[in-house]
Amino acid sequence: MQSDSEFIASIDALAPHVGSRRLVEDEIGLSSVRRIASMLDEDPDSYRAGSELPPHWFGMFFANVVRQSAIGPDGHPSPGVVLPPIPLPRRMGAGRRVRVSGSLRVGVPATKTIEVVQITPKIARTGRIAILTLRDTVESDGQVVAVDENDAVYREMPPPGQQSRVTPPVPAPADPEWSETVTLTEALVFRFSAVTWNAHRIHYDADYSRQVEGYPATVQNGGLTMTLMAGAGVRHAPGRLAGFTTRLTRPIHVGDTVQIQGRGADENGMSVWVADADGAQCGVMDMEFA
């Protein structure tokens, strides 16, 4: 069995990947935009060629399109195909730090430059983990639309027959100024995975999620959680979105009904969070407005 020092050395050996870049192009097609709008329960026909998109929608384009033979057993691209070959089998989004300076437009091509910023090993309470930090720079029509620094956490598999370990629950704030109820139906999570081309099996394969990764059920897509939080915040915003910082703190499962809540909508920004049915905080987002 690999020792902790050997594990840390194996992550440190990936240092040559830091600073590497990859370019992804997207035409921001009308059909894709209308699929996203309908998935978010908006009128798809309200978007036409040239329409300006909501500022936080940039994260639903620029999918990792790889050949089927390059897909690993968990549904993600195999290690080393798209991302550095981190030697831990489980990957989930954890947090983002975003600056927004514009919006995408329907039919106006855009690019995303993905840079590997950091690969950090840690020995955590839940086991060995590695944190991969990427910086995505989205540009369209010669302008920077957004810079998104995001973290993915890689973890060990739980021992066969054991549940995946999670952090202890922390109560969500009890004094929201507004609240929206969302049920994370199978259809909603499937449609988000489809529009973002995300085949991670924990989101739709209950047997895999329980028997291999140790979750009690299929797991809500973290990208969808962040999208719903940002969308709710924008609806209650005092101005145009200029940036946000978000952190996912506790798994949510497909089929759960959650509360997206917030307070403090003023010139200093807004705090948004997600509370599960037990009142535990599952994610938090600090938003800034111009």
pLDDT of residue 127: 84
Averaged pLDDT for residues 129-150: 97
pLDDT of residue 126: 75
**Burial class of 222 by CB neighbour count within 10 A (0 to 12, 13 to 18, 19+):** buried
Domain 4-289, what architecture? Answer: Roll (3.10)
Averaged pLDDT for residues 124-138: 92
Provide the pLDDT confidence category of residue 245 given band limits of 50, 70 and 90.
Answer: very high
Q: In the predicted model, is pLDDT for residue 30 greater than 90?
A: yes
| Residue pLDDT, tens place only, 66-104 | 999 999 999 999 989 999 999 999 898 889 999 999 999
Averaged pLDDT for residues 137-160: 94
CA-atom Rg of the chain in angstroms: 19
pLDDT of residue 25: 97
pLDDT of residue 290: 87
* Region for residue 243 given its phi and psi (left: phi exceeds 0; alpha: psi -120 to 50; beta: otherwise): left
Identity (one letter) of the amino acid at 231?
Answer: G
Domains of the chain: which residue ranges? 4-289
pTM, two decimals, is: 0.93
Q: In the predicted model, is pLDDT for residue 1 greater than 80?
A: no
How many Å apart are CA 176 and CA 265, to the nearest integer? 11
Identity (one letter) of the amino acid at 240?
Answer: R
Averaged pLDDT for residues 192-213: 95
Q: In the predicted model, is pLDDT for residue 268 greater than 80?
A: no
pLDDT of residue 160: 78
Report residue 181 as tokens: 């109820």
pLDDT of residue 116: 97
| Cα–chain center distance at 234 | 18
Averaged pLDDT for residues 142-163: 91
Angle at 120 between CA 119 and CA 124, to 5 degrees: 145
Averaged pLDDT for residues 150-163: 88
115 with 133: CB under 8 angstroms?
Answer: no
Averaged pLDDT for residues 174-179: 95
Averaged pLDDT for residues 216-225: 95
